Amino acid sequence: MVSETPSSRLQLIVFALVSASFANVYITQPVLPVLQQEFGADMVTVSLTVSAVILGMALSNLPFGSLADRLSIKPIILTGGLMVALCSIAAALVHDLRMLIATRFVQGIFIPALTTCLAAYLARTLPVERLSIVMGSYVSATVLGGLGGRLLGGWVHPPLHWRYAFISAAAFILAATIAAIRGLPPDRQHGKTLSSTTGYLALLRRRELWGFFFCAAGSFSIFSSVFNYLPFRLTGSPFHFPTGVITLLYLSYIVGIFMGPTAGRFSNRHGSGKTLITGSLVLGLSLGIIMLPFIAAVVCGLLGVCAGFFAVHASAVGALNRRLSGGQGRANALYVLFYYLGGWGGITLSGFAYTHWGWNGVVLLCLLLVIVPLTAGIGEMNYRKRRMLQSSGK
C-alpha cells in the first residue's frame, strides 16, 4: 500500500520524476538566440521549440487524466518516460529545425503521463494527511525542474553545445522513471473512480469556475512570455550579455518555492480574492520595472514577476478546489489545460509583438493580460461577500 511506503522515499520518487519531466520543457529557452543563429530562423519560429512542448502537454492532459483512472500507474509512467527520453535523444541528433520542433511537440504529448497521471495516482491512494506533504514535493519539483532545465540548457552545458543538454535530460528522465517503476507501490485503486458523476462538460457549465480557468491561462501567458523573450532582450542593446549570464537570471524562478505556501497562508487569512488582486498588482508593477534599461531593474522585475505569478497560481488553484464538492481531478485537469494553452498562446502572440514592437511590445501585451487575474480576484471577493451576507441572513 502507498500509505505503508516511507514518506521520505515516496517524496524523493515524486520529486525526481516530476523535476526530471519539467526539466525537459524549458531546455531550449535560454539558448533561443543561439538556435536562431544556428538554424537561420526568426525568433517566433525558434520559440516553437518551447511552445510546441507546452501545446503538446495541453492537448494530451485530459486524455492522460482519463487513462489514469482506468489503468495502473506503472505502465503509463514506463511508456511516458521512454517516449520523453527517446524524443530528447532525437532532439539532440536532428539538424532540421522543423524536425526539432516536431520532436519537442511529441515530447510534450507524453510529459503528462509522468505528471498528471502521477498526481492522480497520489490523490486516489494517499490518505489526506500524507497527500498534502507529498504534493508539496510535487509543486516544489515543478519549480526546480523548470529552473533545472534552463540551467542545463544554458549554463551547465556550453550554449553552443545545447545538444548535450538533451542527452543529459534523457539520462535523468530514464533514471527517474526506473526509480518510480521500482519504488512506487502497486496501484490497487485504478478503475474505481469511474463512477464520478462530475464530467468535464458539467464543470464547464459552471460559469463561476471560468474565472479560475482564465486566470490560469492569463497568468501563465504573462510568465511564459517574459521568460521566453528575456534572452533576446538581454543579448541586445544596452546589455549584450552572454548566454551564461542570462541563464543565471532564471534563478529568480526559485521564488516560487516559497511563494506558493506563503500565498496559501495569506489566502487562509485574507481570502483568495485579495490574494489574486495582490498578486496581479505585483505582476503589473514588476512588468513596469522590467521595462527599465538597467540590470538592477531587470533582476527586481523578474523577482516580482515570479512572486506575483506564483501567488496568483497558488491562490487560483486553492480557490478552485474550495468551490468543488466533487470532480476535483477533472476540474484540476481543466485548469492545467487552460494553463498550458495560455502559455502556448502567450509565447506565440508575444513573438509577433517582439517582432513588431520589441521588448516593450511584449511587456505591454503582458500588462494587458494582467486584467485577467485581476478580474478573477475581484469576482472572488464579490463571491465571498455574497456568501457572508447569505450566512448572516440566516
The H or E element that residue 229 is part of is: helix 210-235
Rg (CA), the chain: 20
DSSP three-state, residue 327: coil
- pLDDT computed for residue 314 by the predictor: 80
Cell reading at 134: 507529498
Q: Per-residue pLDDT for 197 more than 60?
A: no
Q: Which range among 29-38, 41-50, 216-225, 261-270 shows the weakest confidence by mean pLDDT?
A: 261-270
**Residue 195 pLDDT class (50, 70, 90 cuts):** very low
Question: What pLDDT, in 10s, does the model give residues 307-359?
Answer: 999 889 888 887 886 787 766 667 778 888 999 899 999 999 999 999 999 99
CATH T-level topology, domain 1-187:
Growth Hormone; Chain: A; (1.20.1250)
Of residues 192 and 323, more confidently modeled? 323
- pLDDT computed for residue 191 by the predictor: 53
Enumerate the H helices of 126-161 as residue ranges: 128-151
Determine whether domain 201-394 maps to CATH 3.40.640.10. Answer: no
DSSP three-state, residue 34: helix
CA 262 to chain centre: 18
CA 103 to chain centre: 20
Residue in the block written with cell 528522465: 173
Cα angle 218, 224, 226; round to 5: 105
DSSP track, 232-296: HHHHSTTT---HHHHHHGGGGGGHHHHHHHHHHHHHHHH-HHHHHHHHHHHHHHHHHHHTSSSHH
Mean pLDDT of 168-197: 79
Evaluate whether 154 touches 168 at the Cβ level (below 8 Å): no
Residues carrying CATH 1.20.1250.20, the chain: 1-187, 201-394
- pLDDT computed for residue 393 by the predictor: 60
Give CA–CA dist 276/311, Å, rounded: 7
Question: What pLDDT, in 10s, does the model give residues 16-58?
Answer: 999 999 999 999 998 999 899 999 999 889 999 999 999 999 9
Residue in 109, 126, 127 with CA at minimum distance from that of residue 25 = 109
Mean pLDDT of 283-303: 95
Cα angle 372, 233, 18; round to 5: 60
